[in-house]
Structure 1
Amino acid sequence: MKSSTEADFRAFVVSRWPRMLRTAHLLTGHHHDAEDLVQAALAKAYVKWERIQGADDPDSYVWRIMINTNVDRLRRMRLREWLTHRFPESSVPDRADSVAERSAVLDALARLPAKQRAVVVLRYLEDRSESEVARLLGTGVGTVRSHAARALKKLREQPDLVPVGQ
């Protein structure tokens, strides 16, 4: 790769890393998996950087790579047993309400199918428009709306997620 192209890629990575890591953490639910996901997506983007750089919206291209990489990762992880970082014994609840709420949201997101999770993360947590989400996921706006509606219905049914003020 030419040195100026490589410098452009490095600048892209430095400027996008925090946001990509946050989005990846919301998609995966674990910090280490999020770092792996971002690194894998950026490795794929690096190989195609000259083509990506010439695209209309390089950000969307790279975010799409990250979302597709996450979906592929989840397909490979179809296990009969779920690996967890929690012990089976009951734990003492944390007194920090924000930590408990965050954990409940991440657990609820983890229970959603990959496409629905991606729509919720991009639409509501990343505050992107329906058309942006549709473009990133390679679907129509109607599909984004239906995934969002189904995901929100499932999230509302989660007993851990009680709306604020109730």
Structure 2
Amino acid sequence: MSDRPDEGYREYVDARLPALQRLAYLLCHDRHRADDLIQEALIKLYLRWDRARAASDLHAYARTTLVRTFLSERRTNWARRVVLVDRLPDEAATTDPDAASGVAVRAALATLPPRQRAVIVLRYYSDLSVEETGQTLGCAAGTVKSQTAKGLAALRRALPDVEPNGAATTRTRS
């Protein structure tokens, strides 16, 4: 990266923007809100660029900024009063044979409380350890574990039994 702060920031954002956009979308399940979330997080990152650049892991710093911006927003009165959508938008047709499962998982993920959703996304999408997730969220490892367990249990209850090819299955009980 360049020695000029603005140039280094631009280079970083150009390289990491797609990953940050995917993370933001998984957190809020609305492409427009994800763009707003990214914008807010990138402004915060720019204002603290000297500190961020000096961090031991710049990607973790940016990810933490994004997730904490999301969680902070969810605590405001606006987020409690306004419901943007009651269902996920129709996904564009894709050649992915497992598209139905992906839509079902995203819909189930959208039903989780923000903190559980953040833990699940960080642990399983961003592939962070319990400790890294705790650092990102500013909580203890035990909290990450309990939120993960609660989130996974809720996802198991919410998800239909779907085979990877999208075919529904039936459970047989003994």
Normalized against structure 1, the TM-score is what? Answer: 0.83
State the alpha-carbon separation in 2 of the partners of residues 134 and 123 from structure 1.
10
Task: Determine if the alignment matches structure 1 residue 147 to structure 2 residue 139.
Answer: no
Equivalence map 1:1-166=2 (5 Å): 4-75=4-75, 76-79=78-81, 82-84=83-85, 98-158=98-158, 160-164=159-163, 166=169
**Structure 1 unmatched runs, 5+:** none
State the alpha-carbon separation in 2 of the partners of residues 58 and 34 from structure 1.
21
Distance 1:95 1:55, change over 3 A: closer
Distance 1:99 1:47, change over 3 A: same
State the alpha-carbon separation in 1 of the partners of residues 12 and 20 from structure 2.
11
Aligned to 2:172: none
RMSD: 2.6
**Over residues 19-73 of structure 1, what are the superposed CA-to-partner deviations in whole Å (9 max), with x where a residue is unaligned?**
1111111001111111111111001110110111112222222111111111122
Determine if contact 1:130/1:145 at 8 Å carries over to the other structure.
yes
Distance 1:50 1:148, change over 3 A: same
State the alpha-carbon separation in 1 of the partners of residues 17 and 53 from structure 2.
17
Equivalent residue pairs, number: 158
State the one-letter code of the partner of 2:161.
Answer: V
Post-superposition shift, 1:13? 0.4
Distance 1:131 1:163, change over 3 A: farther
State the alpha-carbon separation in 2 of the partners of residues 17 and 95 from structure 1.
23
**Structure 2 unmatched runs, 5+:** 170-174
